[in-house]
Amino acid sequence: MAPSGGAPNTPPNGPHPSNPQSSPNLVLFDPKAVVPSQPLYLQRNDQLFFYSYTTVVGAQIRVNYRFLTPEGEIKEGQFTSPPFTGFNLSGFQLYEGWLLSFQIAQITAQAAGAWTFTQASIGRGSVAIFGSPAQGSIWQGFVLNAASNGWPGTVPKEITDGPGVIRSITGSTPAAGAEISEVVPANRRWTLLALRAALTTSATVANRFPGFTLDDGTNVLYGVRTNAAQTATLVDSYYAAPGSQFYNDTQSSIIIPFPTPTQLKAGFRIRTATVGLQAGDQWGAPQYEVLEWGNWDT
């Protein structure tokens, strides 16, 4: 199978693999008799695949790598993915030799709380075909913007590993007379830390009893409501704090308990459920803090 992506030893983009930047080796060896400690030998029809998932808009990953040719020469190369949002599968052919190492970084500026996760694999077939079969997984982990990660040297991590990313999220403002409904985005997992939402009631005389529900998109998993009525022309703030007890400070701030921990995955919803909500009542945009991980289970 003829290699694609240019001349031999040339990655599909970026500079040609460089020549050694030092004096020639004084010791030559036959690679058939002496091979590197890394048993990662690639043939001409093998490719390095990089499967990435990101919350960055227009993300790009850059891979700097070193490999040893059958002639005993160490070469270097660089590969930069096209910009992508969400998912991306890209890769290149190394031609033939032993992969010695690679360093990978996310080179696009990213907002606080954004992240990129990448899996590196070896496979055959066209990288343009999503889901091309991989014969081996080399490394996986979070790819950073201000630092690099790579193989060998760093322990592979699952997308759900680690302490999570702390995010403060401003939700959407519903229409007047409507409830708040916040949905966990695709391929995310959240642990809710805190939530605040304010309800402004109209001049219509009625008692309102705000509350919150958690559901999986269809089925309600948890529901709780204040027993303190909010009357007309008031602005009260409601706080959901996992592990806290119900509390009303009588100064328009009410804590409503949530389960500990409150864990949600893609498609789950955080909603308000207000008994006696009037057409002119207005919920403001909620503000909530979460620990976020990626999650392959959509």
Segment 144-190, tens digit of pLDDT: 777 778 888 777 778 888 788 899 999 999 999 999 999 999 888 99
Looking at residues 74-96, what average pLDDT do you find? Answer: 87
Of 119, 187, 200, the residue nearest 156 (C-alpha): 119
Phi then psi dihedrals of residue 92, to 5 deg: -160, 165
% of the chain exceeding 90 in pLDDT: 45
Q: Is the pTM of this model over 0.85?
A: no
The one-letter amino acid at 139: W
In the chain, where are the structural domains located? 41-151, 165-294
Checking if the pLDDT of 74 tops 80, the result is: yes
Query: How many CB atoms are closer than 10 A to CB 118?
Result: 22
Q: Residue 195, Cα to own-chain centre: how many angstroms?
A: 22
β-bridge pairing 235-242 and 262-265: unpaired
Mean pLDDT of 185-210: 95
Topology match between the domains 41-151 and 165-294: no
Q: What pLDDT is stored for residue 46 in this prediction? A: 84
Q: Is the pLDDT of residue 210 over 70?
A: yes
Reported as a single tens digit per residue, the pLDDT across 111-143 is 777 888 999 988 876 654 555 566 778 888 888
Residue 4 has pLDDT above 50, yes or no: no
What mean pLDDT do residues 50-78 have?
A: 88
Q: Which of 13, 147, 10 is nearest to 80 (CA)?
A: 13
Q: Note every long-range contact of 137-146, with CB atoms under 8 Å and residues 24 or more positions apart, other chains counting.
A: 138/40, 138/48, 141/117, 142/115, 142/116, 142/117, 143/52, 143/61, 143/104, 143/105, 143/106, 143/116, 143/117, 143/118, 144/105, 144/106, 145/105, 145/106, 145/107, 145/108, 145/109, 145/110, 145/116
Range in 7-16, 201-210, 272-281 the model is least confident about: 7-16
Q: Which CATH number fits domain 165-294: 2.60.40, 2.60.120, 2.60.310, 3.40.50?
A: 2.60.120
Per 3-state DSSP, the chain is made up of helix, strand and coil in percentages (nearest 5) of 0, 45, 55
Fold classification of 41-151 is Lipoxygenase-1 (2.60.60)
What local confidence, expressed as pLDDT, does residue 154 receive? 74
